[in-house]
Amino acid sequence: MKVNAGEGEYIYIITKKPSELAVNGIIGGFEQDSIIYIQSTRYFVYKSINPNLGETIIKVYDTE
């Protein structure tokens, strides 16, 4: 997926399974921020470590 984070903005990604995220082809750059539950379904929330990434391509890899 392609996203765009402007000045002072972080990127948040929500997945149903524990995941690794790759930024522009390199794994890393995100940390797990929290786990949320919506209608009894568990979701993992990941936040970019750095703000201001501009146009970024992110790929999600399930670890389960």
Q: Structure pTM?
A: 0.89
* Tokens linked to 41: 């379904």
Question: What is the C-alpha separation between 53 and 64, in angstroms, rounded?
Answer: 28
- Exposure string for 26-45, b = 16+ CB within 10 A, e = fewer: eeebbeeeeeeeeeeeeebe
Give CA angle at 59 (4, 43), nearest 5°: 90
Domain that holds residue 16: 2-62
Total number of domains in the chain: 1
pLDDT in tens, the chain (64 residues): 899 999 999 999 999 999 999 998 899 999 999 999 999 999 999 999 999 999 999 999 988 7
